[in-house]
Chain A
């Protein structure tokens, strides 16, 4: 009886690990899409609204969903409250938020490079920088979709099957 209980526990645990992994895989393209729309709204704020950066990022924080809203919130807070450069504030907020996202190293580098250009140029070159970053993110998104389609089902069935194998080996 206790053996059966242990077996069920093992299989539930490994299946949950597999599902968690596949959720992580499907979360990445979603967050990339969110990031792209955030940059597009930022572009609109800069180009058409002539909004200052801290105001624009506060508005973005109100519009967006969870992981990115905290990022823009802390960015605008750093800009208004502390004596710092845009680049520094951007990088610091990026570092704070990065652990709670499903994004990878490549996206981090892209966003960091974008932060280095932020607020340095006139509006036209700023728009060009945003377009460039969007193009980079587009590439990463295609890659993320590819990975999701490939590995999502594998992660699920691999979790279940490894649990089954473990049970058979232990019985």
Chain B
């Protein structure tokens, strides 16, 4: 459970910082950089969530299919 709460805070932190970066880069007219920053933040979080979901599936497999 401790790990789950930790990862939620991490996602929230990345989200806030990336949102700030996006607005600042947008304000000075560097729209393309802003979009790249947002995209990379999104991909990073996607990987993080994917690893957690992968963990969940492994657990389900081990519970219901009686494997290792």
Contact = CB atoms under 8 A, between A and B. Distances in A.
Contact of A169 (B20, B21, B28, B44): B44
Nearest to B41: A165
A66 B14 CA distance: 44
Contacts of B14: 165, 168-169
Given A168-B10, A169-B44, A154 B17 contact: no
Secondary structure at the B interface, as helix, strand, loop or mixed, is: helix
Interface in B12-66: 13-14, 17-18, 20-21, 24-25, 27-29, 44
Secondary structure at the A interface, as helix, strand, loop or mixed, is: helix
B28 A168 contact: no
A165 B28 contact: no
A142 interface: no
Interface of A: 150-151, 154, 157-158, 161-162, 164-165, 168-169, 171
Contacts of B21: 158, 161-162, 165
B17 A161 contact: yes
Contacts of B17: 161, 164-165, 168
12 contacts: A150-B28, A151-B28, A154-B25, A154-B27, A154-B28, A157-B20, A157-B24, A161-B20, A161-B21, A161-B24, A165-B17, A165-B21
Nearest to A154: B28
Contacts of B10: 168, 171
A157 B20 CA distance: 9
